[in-house]
Amino acid sequence: MSDQASFSAALLDLQRPCPAGLCSRNGADPASRFAVYRNNVQSSLINALADSYPVVKALVGEDFFRAMASLYVQHFPPISPILNDYGQDFGSFIQGFSPAASVPYLADMARLERLRINAYHAADATPLSPEQIGVYLAAPETLNTLQVHLHPSVAVLNSSHAVVSLWEAHQGEGQLEQVDPTQAEAALVLRLHWQVEVFRIDIGTLVFIQSLQNDCPLELALAYAYDASAAFDPSHALALLIRYSAITHLHPEQKARP
């Protein structure tokens, strides 16, 4: 292991000794100075996770969250200098963290909070106006092959738990004690005018949006949505995307030349 790698590993692992060869300008004990620096680095990373996942922290309490975050920090060092990027896979870590098993919706709550962060920092794109979209939707000859491109901030989450209701309750919308966390919910996350929005959507709408994001033409995306739910309402799904400026580009699918 290189000196740099050894230094980085020791910063995140409390069990490792102070790296050899360190010295201080004022003659202070290098091990003591390194311990202070290591504590500051770990605290800053744990605090960054706490800032990114406030509802996760609220669900398990300060002490449990910081203990869990400390283990994450030790095993997953930052790969970007931007603190907002840290913890992208925190939800997956929680999924495999056995002490959190008694809160089975915790991992999906972390995933929802991460989608909100990603939506806020997603690239900007100019949405089409309802009038522009109406022109395309009124052309039956191209409607079935129409490609619908969505805003970069748009993301969906399918959970077997009531993550949207739980998140809303922690924003002061509804009573937490009235939420049944075992009820499955799907979430739509997007950014409108730099405000990140979270919506509860049905499974058909989730599949519809996922299909559009996978470059399926409109006809095929609608078919997949109906397969997922016979109750899927395409007009409601499209109205939601139009109302929140989530459609940025429309064009007929280009057929490959023989």
Mean pLDDT of the chain: 87
The amino acid that residue 150 corresponds to is L
pLDDT recorded at residue 77: 86
The per-residue pLDDT for range 154-192, each reduced to its tens digit, is 999 999 999 999 999 999 988 888 999 999 999 999 999
> In this structure, what is the dihedral angle of CA atoms 76, 79, 82, 88, given to the nearest 10 degrees?
-50
| CB of 211 closer than 8 Å to CB of 228 | no
Q: Is the Cβ–Cβ distance between 142 and 201 less than 8 Å?
A: no
Tokens of 229: 């739910």
CB 158 within 8 A of CB 189: no
CA dihedral (220, 222, 228, 230) positive or negative: negative
Domains plus CATH for the chain? 1-103 (no CATH), 123-258 (3.90.930)
Tens digits of per-residue pLDDT, 63-101? 999 999 999 998 898 888 888 889 999 999 999 999 999
The pLDDT-based confidence of 256 (bands split at 50, 70, 90) is very low
**So what's the pLDDT on residue 20?**
52
Ranking 41-45, 123-127, 202-206 by mean pLDDT, the lowest is 41-45
User: How many residues can be counted in the chain?
Assistant: 258
What's the pLDDT tens digit per position in 185-233? 999 999 998 999 999 999 999 999 999 999 999 999 999 999 999 999 9
Dihedral pair phi/psi, residue 252, rounded to 5°: -65, 145
Tokens of 54: 């406030």
Q: Shortest CA distance to 187 belongs to which of 158, 210, 207, 208?
A: 158
Confidence check: pLDDT of 10 > 80:
no
